[in-house]
Amino acid sequence: MWKRLVYDYHSYFDHQSVFMIKKSRKEKEKKARRDLIIDSALQVMKEKGFENATMDEIAEAAEMGKGTLYLYFESKTALYLAISERGARLLNQQIARILVQEATGLELIEKIGFVYLDFIRDNPLFFTAFNYFEHVVNEGKMAGTSLIDDCNTHAREAMAYIVRALQIGMQDGSIKSTIDPRMLGIIIWGASRGVMHMAFLKQQNSHLQLLDDVEYDLNTLVTGFINLLRTGMKK
Q: Which residues would be at the binding site for DNA (CB under 7 A)?
A: 30, 33, 52, 54-56, 63-68, 70-72, 75-77
Q: What does 68 interact with, of a copy of itself, DNA, none (CB < 5 to 8 A by kind)?
A: DNA
Cα angle 198, 200, 204; round to 5:
115
Terminal CA-to-CA distance of the chain, rounded, Å? 82
Identified binder of a copy of itself from the candidate list 91, 155, 168, 218, rule CB under 8 A: 155
Instruction: State the Cα–Cα distance between residues 185 and 167, nearest whole angstrom.
Output: 10
Mask for 122-141, x = binds a copy of itself (CB under 8 A): ------------x--xxxx-
Q: Are 58 and 44 in contact (CB under 8 A)?
A: yes
Strand residues in 1-104 grouped as ranges (E): none
With H, G, I as helix, E, B as strand and everything else as coil, classify residue 54.
Answer: coil
Residue 210 makes contact with a copy of itself by CB under 8 A: yes
Out of a copy of itself, DNA, none, what residue 187 binds, judged by CB under 5 to 8 A for its kind, is a copy of itself
- Number of residues this chain uses to bind a copy of itself (CB under 8 A): 65
38 to 67: interface string for a copy of itself, x by CB under 8 A: -----------x------------------
Q: How far is the CB of 140 from a copy of itself (least distance, A)?
A: 7
In the complex with DNA, which residue's Cβ is closer, 57 or 107?
Answer: 57
Q: How far is CA 40 from the centre of its chain?
A: 18
Q: Do residues 116 and 52 lie in contact, with contact meaning Cβ atoms separated by under 8 Å?
A: no
